[in-house]
Amino acid sequence: MTLDRRTFLAGSAAASIAATIAGRAMAQGATIDVASIHDLSGIFDAYGKPMEKAMQLAIDEINAAGGLAGKQVKEISYDTQSQIPLYTQFGQQAALKDKVAVVMGGILSASREAIRPTLKRFNTLYFYNTQYEGGVCDRNIFCTGVAPSQSVEALIPYAMSRWGKKVYILAADYNYGQIISKWVQHYVKLNGGQTLQVDFFPLDVSDFGATIAKIQAAKPDFVVSALVGGAHMSFYRQWAAAGMKAKIPMASTTLGVGNEQIVLTKEEGDGILLAYNWSAEIDTPANKKFLAAWGKKFGADSVKEIHELAVATYQGMMLWAAAVKKAGTPDRMKVIEALETGMSIEGPGGKITVDPKTHHCTLDVVVIEVKDQKLTVVKQIPQVPPLDTQAVCDLKANPNSNIQYEIKI
Amino acid sequence: MSARGEVVLETRALTMRFGGVVAVDRVDFTLRDGELRCLIGPNGAGKSTFFKCLTGQLKPSAGEVLVRERRMTGAEPCQMAQAGIGVKTQTPSVFNGLSVRENMFLALARHHAGRIAEARTDEALERYALADLRDRKVGELAHGQRQRVEIAMVVAAEPWLVLLDEPAAGMTHEEVDALAALIRDINRRSTMIIVEHDMQFIRMIGDRVTVFHQGAVLIEDHVDTVLDDARVREVYLGS
Amino acid sequence: MDFAVVVIVEILYAVASLALIAAGLAVVFGMMRVINLAHGEFLMLGGYTAIVSVKAGINIYVAMLVVAPIVVGAIGLIVERLVIRFLYGRMLDTMLATWGLSLLLTGLVTMIFGNTTTGISTPIAGYRVGAYQLSGYNLFIIAAGFLVMAGILLALRYTRAGLIARGAMQSSDMASGLGHNPQRIYMITFTVGAALSGLAGGILAPLTGLTPTTGGLYVAKAFITVISGGAAVVAGTLSSATLFGTITQVVTLSSTPVWGDVAMLIAAVILLRLLPQGITGRFFSRQV
Amino acid sequence: MTSGLSERNRHLLVLAIGLVLLVGLPWVVDVVTLLELTIYIVYALFALSLGFIWGHGGILCFGQAAFFGLGAYTYAVAAINVGESSGPFLLAILLPAAFAALLGAMMFYGRLSDVYLGVITLVVALILFKFVNSTANETYVIGDARLGGFNGIPGFPTLNWPGDAGSPLMPDEMFYLAMGLLIAVYFGLHGLLRSRFGRIVVAIRENETRAELLGYDVRLYKTAVFAIGGGIAGLAGVLFANWGNFVSPGVFGLAQSATAIIWVIVGGLGTLIGPIVGAVLIQFLTTLLGQQSVVNNAFVLGAILVLVVLLLPKGLMPTLGQLLSRGRRK
């Protein structure tokens, strides 16, 4: 995009476009503004609401410690209402009107892919703090959540060793589900297993009766669910209602990310295997401090709302803050360069380190079993690098790269 | 004044069924050039259904409609109109929301290009004595005036065959007299079929009359003969 | 063999749930020629009523089968008195006004409960057919669907109220001649339609999660089922529900739910193109 | 039409206001507001497409978003494949128009009307939505463009100066284009309605039977009107796609069709300015409501729709026109 053309255009709109494009004019306000763009209502609100709280907590802590580069940090929050087009719109507003230093946000991969081009076009730094399918290769974005080579890589062999080799995959029908289901197939094959069938479901499907019958006809050893959002919750209910819990076990790449285990009953959730970066049960000082701070700010009841994505958001915000401190300025390029030195912080989920080549993170992984509406850790794997994206992406060599790689199987 | 010209309209075993009800039952009907034919019959005799089969508003279940020896069975109303047939429906069917002038323009615009149609419209309004109503919305006019507008619209297109469904319904005595004169005038140029209820009116204009009963043709003859026929009296008055 | 049973149960379930979803709309459309586009929201309100009642400690069956229809019936009554009654005979205006109502109710529920998914678990355990596990709740829905349809049929055919209602729909003059106020009959019919929607919403609530916008998912299906069925309330709804339910489920089982839905929609388009008056407009005119 | 102004003067006034807004707005507002206004214009154009077929053609389409979405997606897919935007721009108008013609022919030659027409259009939009929504798999590609399913298509080449793929339109130029097109379409439709074709279309709305009995092939005219409406909706879709540089299946959604109906009914049926005013007013209100969280947006829109149907069945602009002329007469 050549957006530095036609600066001779008069008029205030044209002038302000020119100003935006010429580069973010720094040091305008008394605060450093940060945009939070999450789904705070609609069918993805279970993911978004705690992420927004995590932003608030992180900013409080940053400001309490004296702010950044001599200024307080101010949050500008947008609710995208679980509607993907609103990401584009709010992304534009954050970049052009609010002129924020960084955008933290995006939940579904679809929302990330909607907002990523906008923020790149308007030179606004972007942090995507969600576990996702991996492969994004773009110097303007940092991805702080777990990727398949971290979560799926841990989950599938563990589940296969417990239950068997034949797998039936259910996935949400958009880029996340499409790609993660390939990773699942990849790791199933790698461990000598067999994928019987992959079924995709649009996010508004809530009746899984026929599917449950189909799964039984296929007779898998276990089911892997990559279902997403409020409507897909009914799958777990219907699965349990049909009495399937005792018959076919299940692993999931998404359950628990929105704290589904506390919305589902014990009978519906128990025994499902998961793998993420964080569980409330991780016994480290950083995690204890984080839980205590959250409880203090939002009330003790609210602690159970914390989930994987909230923790990733908190860690993403803290990583950015550390980089601003190091660079001494919130200027986009300087912050990117600081992060690319391989910065790390100690977060509730353990040590998290930026991988300079991919802008993804090396982090700890825990395999989890749902028990009594809690995420019980059954296995810990320290410091797993983002091998999937590393295999295809090198931003040091190709800083202008701007695509999402997909695994071929 | 009996049949004079060639056959211009013919139906062969024309049948119209609605579900299990046979509204028109194998009707053979012939109309000759220049005729003024009345279709009569009690309510539910099938004359209106038969009429709608001729105008294209209903698609007959069986049988044929021939217009000047061309098969037009099941043709669309617009095709019937394009074949030169003008139709006035039972209740005034006009463009209520539009002005009298616009109504007339639309009647002419199918036959003439825009400019010519505009000019002809004003002529026609004069000819049919509608000029002083020209800017009024048709929906605001009295019932009789709307009937006049509709007949004028039908006739202005110069059809060779004019089909009228109960044109005298709801008219005052004076209006009926004027209508009878108008119909005789139209008949000088066009062949006509008139569906009618009002015996008085039929006597005024009558020539050949076809009587419908229970979906079939009961009798077809000159008006005087028909109205004296015992069977017709029985059908109309009940036994 | 076992799988055949499973397939049949799944098809029956799809037919029954379509019939349930459409029942309230069918009564209101069939009897009054009113297309209620807030129908989906009536279902949604039935669902919320049931869930709120259960969470307040009421027995789940009471909540679904008694509380939900009463509450939604009452809402229907209010809606009829405030809006619908001014619009009788203006089909298009009624559609638009009820569409507005649907937005309004969605907004209202969002303000009260938040735009978020809620749900309750089904009260019936699964059962076994040969090697297969089936949801027990599906059987409950099948029974409920057919009972509701039979109930409407019997009520219209054999009760005095049904007779009067049918008479009024044929000719409101006749009904008033017999000393019945057609306005009152319309009011009662609409209320009953709303109550049926509430009942359906309550029954379906435990199955799928509820959001304030759930109504939108229902209304299109109900609308298509009822219009394709044609004028006859029970025969129409049952025949189109059977057709669409079977198509949806067969295609879903052999591919995915999306194609199931798409197949149903395409079937609806073809059907309406061939039978513009709906199935019963052609084959069963003059029945209920 | 009765109004205080003569018809000619009224159109001159509309033209003048349109031109003033076209030239003046970029000078007085900042870029974010200009972007916001551009989307109002896009919606106004979409409303106009429905207002034309409904208010003048008498066809109530419950799935107008089908053509809007088709325009948006056609543009996105074609732009990715072609690069230069002129061809995709035209294609994205012609394809929805052709699709509307086909669908219209199917409906009107099958003599479907009223509710049945409503159901079919709604269902067709739903089918498109469901189909596009389930194309996330990489096997759904057209040329170089992946359909993307729920994700939609981000980052396709936006409109450029004709013939020069290297110079995309800037936000302010997008505004000029959208506003210019809105004015052009408005007066284009105005001229069409004054032509013989347009007068027959209005006559068909007034009384279909009479028009047929006069020999007009109603099916053909309605199909043509529907196709024109589809083309305009497609044009609005193209602009929408370019505005956000993003399309997703939501453009086919029920909500999209529904809002258009609200715009038209609030603004007023049977006028061309009504749908435009309706779209801008309602969208402005939506934006205002979006900035607070006390009252829900849908709640207010729904209430407005109910009240308009009950109290102002003709819509805002025609009612306003009547009031004005009554005021004059006194």
pLDDT score at C272: 82
CA separation for the pair D120, D111 (Å, rounded): 12
Confidence bin at C231 (pLDDT 50/70/90) = confident
Any idea where the domains of chain B sit in the sequence? 1-84+159-239, 92-158
Which subunits have 3 or more CB–CB pairs within 8 Å of chain B? Answer: D
pLDDT score at D3: 44
Whether chain A lies against chain B with 3 or more Cβ pairs closer than 8 A is no
Q: CB-based contact (8 Å) between D195 and chain C?
A: no
- Asked casually if ipTM beats, i.e. exceeds, 0.95, the reply is no
- Total residue count of chain B as it appears in this document: 239
From chain C, pick out residues whose CB is under 8 angstroms from the CB of D127.
262, 265-266, 269
Mean pLDDT over C280-287 rounds to: 53
pLDDT score at A203: 87
CA separation for the pair C146, D166 (Å, rounded): 64
Please tell me the least confidently modeled range out of B90-94, B114-118, C177-181. C177-181
Residue A386 lies in a domain: no
Closest CA to A84 of A35, A43, A135: A43
pLDDT score at A1: 37
CB–CB of D261 and C103 under 8 A? no
pLDDT score at D168: 84
pLDDT score at C159: 82
Mean pLDDT over B30-41 rounds to: 90
CB-CB: which of A20, A116, A173 is closest to D149? A173
- Quote the domain boundaries for residue A204: 149-276
Which subunits have 3 or more CB–CB pairs within 8 Å of chain D? Answer: A, B, C
Per-residue pLDDT 10s for chain D (330 aa) are: 444 566 777 788 888 888 888 888 888 888 778 888 899 999 999 999 999 999 999 998 989 999 999 999 999 999 999 988 899 999 999 999 999 999 999 999 888 777 788 888 988 998 999 899 989 888 899 988 989 888 889 888 989 888 887 788 888 889 999 999 999 999 999 999 999 999 999 999 999 999 999 999 999 999 999 999 999 999 999 999 998 888 999 899 888 888 899 899 889 888 899 999 999 999 888 878 776 667 777 888 889 889 998 988 888 888 887 777 776 655
CA separation for the pair B186, B161 (Å, rounded): 10
Q: Are C285 and C242 in contact (CB under 8 A)?
A: no
pLDDT score at B101: 93
CB–CB of B157 and D215 under 8 A? yes
Percent of chain B at pLDDT exceeding 90 = 34
Q: Are residues A266 and A293 in the same domain?
A: no
Q: How many CB atoms lie within 10 A of CB B188?
A: 7
From chain A, pick out residues whose CB is under 8 angstroms from the CB of C10.
209-210, 213
Q: Is the pLDDT of residue C44 over 90?
A: yes
The phi and psi torsions of A331 (rounded to 5 degrees) equal -55, 135
Chain B: residue nearest D199 by CA? Answer: B106
Q: CB-based contact (8 Å) between B98 and chain D?
A: yes
Q: Are C258 and C79 in contact (CB under 8 A)?
A: no
Residue C19 lies in a domain: yes
Confidence bin at C183 (pLDDT 50/70/90) = confident
Q: Is the pLDDT of residue C218 over 70?
A: yes
CB–CB of D137 and A9 under 8 A? no
Any idea where the domains of chain D sit in the sequence? 7-318
Q: Are residues A128 and A161 in the same domain?
A: no
Residues B104-159: pLDDT tens digits?
999 998 887 778 888 889 988 988 888 888 899 999 988 878 888 998 999 988 89
CB–CB of B81 and D212 under 8 A? yes
Residue predicted with more confidence, A7 or A348: A348
Q: What pTM, to 2 d.p., does this model score? A: 0.88
Burial class (CB in 10 A: 0-12, 13-18, 19+), D20: exposed
Q: Are C209 and A208 in contact (CB under 8 A)?
A: no
Instruction: Characterize A380-393 residue by residue with b for buried, 16 or more Cβ atoms within 10 angstroms of its Cβ, and e for exposed.
Output: eeeebbbbbbbebb
Confidence bin at A292 (pLDDT 50/70/90) = very high
Q: Is the pLDDT of residue C89 over 90?
A: no
From chain D, pick out residues whose CB is under 8 angstroms from the CB of A178.
136-138, 149
CB-CB: which of C7, C110, C208 is closest to A207? C208
Question: Quick one: angle between helices D7-28 and D171-194, nearest 10?
Answer: 170
Q: Is the pLDDT of residue A199 over 50?
A: yes
- Quote the domain boundaries for residue C91: 14-212
Whether chain C lies against chain A with 3 or more Cβ pairs closer than 8 A is yes
Q: Are D266 and D273 in contact (CB under 8 A)?
A: no
In total, the C-beta contacts within 8 angstroms joining chain A to chain D are 114
Confidence bin at C176 (pLDDT 50/70/90) = low
From chain C, pick out residues whose CB is under 8 angstroms from the CB of D130.
258, 261-262, 265
Q: How many domains does chain A have?
A: 2
CB–CB of A242 and C128 under 8 A? no
Whether chain C lies against chain D with 3 or more Cβ pairs closer than 8 A is yes
CB-CB: which of D200, D210, D215 is closest to B82? D215
Q: Are A275 and A227 in contact (CB under 8 A)?
A: no
CB–CB of D133 and A173 under 8 A? yes
Distance in Å, alpha carbon of B117 to nearest chain D alpha carbon: 10
pLDDT score at A3: 39
| Pairing outcome for strands D246-247 and B161-165 | unpaired
Cα A229 to the center of its chain, rounded Å: 14
Mean pLDDT over B79-94 rounds to: 89
CB–CB of A11 and D172 under 8 A? yes
Confidence bin at C172 (pLDDT 50/70/90) = low
Q: CB-based contact (8 Å) between C132 and chain A?
A: yes
Residue C108 lies in a domain: yes
Confidence bin at B28 (pLDDT 50/70/90) = very high
Residues A22-77: pLDDT tens digits?
444 444 578 999 999 999 887 788 899 999 999 999 999 999 999 998 899 999 99
From chain B, pick out residues whose CB is under 8 angstroms from the CB of D212.
56, 76-78, 81
Q: How many domains does chain C have?
A: 1
Which chain C residues in 151-190 lie under 8 Å from chain A, judged by CB atoms?
Answer: none
pLDDT score at A5: 37
CB–CB of C115 and A41 under 8 A? yes
Please tell me the least confidently modeled range out of A100-104, A357-361, B183-187. B183-187
From chain B, pick out residues whose CB is under 8 angstroms from the CB of D217.
76, 78
CATH superfamily of B1-84+159-239: P-loop containing nucleotide triphosphate hydrolases (3.40.50.300)
pLDDT score at C233: 84
| Owner of token pair 């203090």 | A296
